[in-house]
Chains A and B, each alone.
Chain A
Amino acid sequence: MDLAYTEQQQAFREEVRSWLADNVPVEALKSFDTEEGFTQHRAWEATLNKGRWGMVTWPQVLGGRGCDLIEWLIFEEEYYKMRAPLRVNQNGIFLLGPTLMEYGTEEQKARILPKMANGEEVWAQAWSEPNAGSDMAAIRTTAMLQGDKYIINGQKTWSTRAVWADWCFGMFRTDPQSERHRGLTFILVPLSSPGITVRPIPQLDGLPGFAEIFFDNVEVGIENRLGDEGAGWGVAMATAGFERGLMLRSPARFQETARRLVELYMANRASADCDPAVKDAVLGAYLDAESYCLATYQTACRLNKGGKIGAESSTNKIFWSELDQNMHATAMSILGARAELAAHAPAANGVGTWLDGWLFSQSGPIYAGTNEVQRNIVAERMLGMPR
């Protein structure tokens, strides 16, 4: 055990820091759930890609840097410290990208990954259906192979980024006689295809961060199937594995929220201390963010040495989503009567983005598999409790 960064790692951090200092937009971008903000974020992805900072863990030939997980953590730390823009293409680069590298054909990789990397093609996910949420195996949207095309009919919902995205990926039932996990196939669909209707769904903040997608005899070429027909469940689980795992929510994000929470508390100490529970909650949030960081470094080091992610990784999403909610709840308590005010409200007076964060934190325990489903997984697969 040696808990010091190597010279090489420190040099890498410096390189990240100086590039970000030169390139991160001075003025914060608009939300990527607005049309203007989406365009701005797409342009930011292109800027990142030009500097080869878009996907640091991707191989060099694909525009990445072949970074290991520790370098990735360092990159994320500097990224969040600099308050660089959120990643509009995260469904693509963190979820589909690694899955494509594992299951995709050479043709698919060459066709899809470069445009994903430079933000030219932004990806939405299309997992859930009205009757297939936590019970994902209940998917009913069909994709029937006719010649060299799939004909898709049905409906997906809660498709994050689908309003302005270019493509979506998801699971479709290719064998209508099949049940549950069998007969599902992983297919990539251009959202510009004839027969697709996207109906935006406003989220708690009023912006259309997700959408319903209706498929009415949508034709998709067989070259857009990822993995074998009927093997979709396995491919999807690999994607969900990345999603639940390290990539989606790096510790840096929560450590920066915790740091800002300490600052907020210090700036409002006189009023905040009227409720003695607040100080304790701030301290608890700071410790949990640190614990999450330490545990992630420990896992990353183990994986770098050839270890495998085990069932214990299903604790990850429960931990960070509840931490995020707790931190923002504490911030709301500290802000008191100002907590309800939008950042741009005349009386807001430096209330900042806590309200947006609070609203977003409500989604954490729900998306990417509800925390109830995650707890079942922890109990059954990690602890071995009976089904």
Chain B
Amino acid sequence: MDFTFSEDQLLFQESVRDFLVNEVTPERIRASWLTDSGREDALWNQLAELGLTGMTVSEANGGLGMTVLDFVLLAQECGYVGLPEPLVHTVMVAVPLLNDLGGELAEQWLPKVASGEAKVVVGLEQNLLVEDAHVADLLLMQQGGTLYAATPDQFSLCYSESVDPSRKLFTVELLDSAAPVASGEQAATLIARTLNRGALGCAAQVLGLAQRMIDLSVHYTGERQQFGKPIGSFQAVKHHMANVAVRLEYAKAPTHRAAYAVATGQGVAAHAVSHAKLVACEAANLAAKNSVQVHGAMGYTWEVDLHIFMKKAWALANTWGDAGFHKTRIGERVFATDAVLGAGATFV
């Protein structure tokens, strides 16, 4: 039993955090909102140079050959800065699906993903829309029980605006020329695994988003003075933030366990992911609610940075399975007549 991250994993997290905090500033995110695509090739190339786009690509295909467990702490950091680029999607969703599909398709695309030359994007019916389809060089798309692969000449897009200006969402129409790559039982398995990875990516990101909202609120309430003192010295304000810290603290371990379960292919993975997604999003939603409150009227403005992170947390809470979806999955296990629950059952 070793529920700790390795020195290497923690060091990698630290260096990626430093990079992201320096590079992906709120100013840069706001600037990206004014561009057509909302995405920056220069930043993507930097991420590729750090090896991040190829983290879960095998070494034979030019990547680092790591797992989603190696990436989960980095996904938290992506959340912390509100990274608009589809890095979490690439590493935790698209590449693992390509790895599962294997064959020519994987060999053709994985090296390009690792090098940063190409982006691969996955669309599941669980999600109403497809994130970042406008920058996809290859789209892996579910339609009914079949997965298709399509290049930009094989689909058309219709943009829908999100509350989070960094999120670029599209309705995708596949053309007849799109090629089926999996169907039947194989597709069902791949779709289920992909959904778990996407939900895990959300859980990890919202942990970071919640921490960022806490940090912004602690900073703001430490500066803002009323009645002759910083408002952060008032218990009513402190307790709002303490409540967030408590929920966040107990959402971390479930997310790390889910990453372990997904990476090692444990049968408990779906259950563990749903647990993580629920408690992480709950913590992040509380962070948003209490952060906007302690910011007062400033929290309701476009100018203060809080909304960059708050809106992303709101959006992620209902993608890759909303609370109802994940509660139903957990309920199926917990309320089963042969359920094994209670002390000693957590790691079995």
Interface-located stretch among A56-64, A312-320, A331-339: A312-320
Neighbouring B residues of A266 by C-beta, 8 Å: 335, 337
Neighbouring B residues of A77 by C-beta, 8 Å: 343-344
Cβ–Cβ contact B239 & A372, under 8 A: yes
Indicate if A380 sits at the interface (CB-CB under 8 A): yes
- Cβ < 8 Å to A, chain B residues 85-108: none
Residues of B within 8 A of A (CB): 1-6, 69, 214, 218, 221-222, 229-230, 232-233, 235, 237-239, 241-243, 245-246, 249-254, 256-257, 260-261, 275, 278-279, 327, 330-331, 334-335, 337, 339, 341-347
Indicate if A302 sits at the interface (CB-CB under 8 A): yes
- Cβ < 8 Å to B, chain A residues 66-80: 70, 74, 76-78, 80
Cβ-defined partner of B2 (8 Å) among A258, A282, A301: A301
Bound-state Cα–Cα, A76 to B342, Å: 12
Question: Chain A's nearest CB lies how many Å from the CB of B286?
Answer: 13
Majority DSSP secondary structure for residues of B touching A: helix
Cβ–Cβ contact B1 & A6, under 8 A: yes
Closest B residue to A68 by beta carbon equals B1
Neighbouring A residues of B243 by C-beta, 8 Å: 375
Cβ–Cβ contact A383 & B218, under 8 A: yes
Question: What 4 A-B pairs have minimum CB-CB distances, sorted nearest first?
Answer: A259-B342, A379-B238, A294-B253, A252-B343
Question: Chain A's nearest CB lies how many Å from the CB of B262?
Answer: 12
Cβ–Cβ contact B1 & A386, under 8 A: no
Bound-state Cα–Cα, A102 to B251, Å: 33
Bound-state Cα–Cα, A139 to B342, Å: 42
Bound-state Cα–Cα, A279 to B6, Å: 39
Interface-located stretch among A28-36, A224-232, A284-292: A284-292
A1-B69, A294-B257, A298-B253 are known contacts. Are A383 and B245 too (CB-CB below 8 A)? yes
Cβ–Cβ contact A385 & B3, under 8 A: no
Cβ–Cβ contact A375 & B339, under 8 A: no
Closest B residue to A300 by beta carbon equals B3
A4-B1, A297-B1 are known contacts. Are A379 and B230 too (CB-CB below 8 A)? no
Neighbouring B residues of A374 by C-beta, 8 Å: 242
Question: Chain A's nearest CB lies how many Å from the CB of B342?
Answer: 3
Indicate if A275 sits at the interface (CB-CB under 8 A): no
Neighbouring A residues of B254 by C-beta, 8 Å: 287, 290-291, 294
Question: Chain B's nearest CB lies how many Å from the CB of A66?
Answer: 17
Neighbouring A residues of B6 by C-beta, 8 Å: 1
Cβ–Cβ contact B253 & A291, under 8 A: yes
Neighbouring B residues of A293 by C-beta, 8 Å: 346
Question: Chain A's nearest CB lies how many Å from the CB of B160?
Answer: 30
Indicate if A144 sits at the interface (CB-CB under 8 A): no
Bound-state Cα–Cα, A50 to B256, Å: 40
Neighbouring B residues of A308 by C-beta, 8 Å: none
Neighbouring B residues of A295 by C-beta, 8 Å: 249-250, 252-253
Closest B residue to A297 by beta carbon equals B3
Bound-state Cα–Cα, A380 to B238, Å: 8
Q: Tell me which of B4, B222, B232, B337 has the highest count of chain A C-beta atoms within 10 A of its own C-beta.
A: B4
- Taken residue by residue from 369 to 387, chain A's Cβ proximity to chain B (1 for < 8 Å, 0 otherwise) reads as 0001011101110111111
Neighbouring B residues of A70 by C-beta, 8 Å: 1
Cβ–Cβ contact B343 & A315, under 8 A: no
Q: Tell me which of B239, B241, B242 has the highest count of chain A C-beta atoms within 10 A of its own C-beta.
A: B242
Cβ-defined partner of B232 (8 Å) among A9, A265, A385: A385
Cβ-defined partner of A1 (8 Å) among B246, B260, B331: B260
Cβ–Cβ contact A5 & B347, under 8 A: yes
Indicate if A115 sits at the interface (CB-CB under 8 A): no
Indicate if A262 sits at the interface (CB-CB under 8 A): yes
A258-B341, A372-B239, A382-B245 are known contacts. Are A283 and B331 too (CB-CB below 8 A)? yes
Cβ–Cβ contact B343 & A256, under 8 A: yes
Q: Tell me which of A6, A283, A287, A294 has the highest count of chain B C-beta atoms within 10 A of its own C-beta.
A: A294
Neighbouring B residues of A80 by C-beta, 8 Å: 343
Bound-state Cα–Cα, A255 to B1, Å: 19
Given A286-B330, A287-B275, A375-B239, 17 other A-B contacts at CB below 8 A?
A: A1-B69, A1-B256, A2-B1, A81-B343, A283-B327, A291-B253, A291-B254, A291-B279, A294-B3, A295-B252, A301-B1, A301-B2, A301-B4, A375-B238, A375-B242, A379-B239, A385-B233
Question: Chain A's nearest CB lies how many Å from the CB of B52?
Answer: 20
Q: Give me 18 A-to-B residue pairs in the complex whose CB atoms sit less than 8 angstroms apart, sorted by A's number.
A: A1-B2, A1-B3, A3-B1, A6-B1, A251-B343, A255-B342, A259-B341, A287-B330, A291-B253, A291-B254, A297-B1, A297-B253, A300-B3, A301-B4, A375-B243, A382-B245, A383-B214, A385-B221
Bound-state Cα–Cα, A13 to B337, Å: 26
Closest A residue to B238 by beta carbon equals A379
Bound-state Cα–Cα, A330 to B235, Å: 29
Closest A residue to B339 by beta carbon equals A262
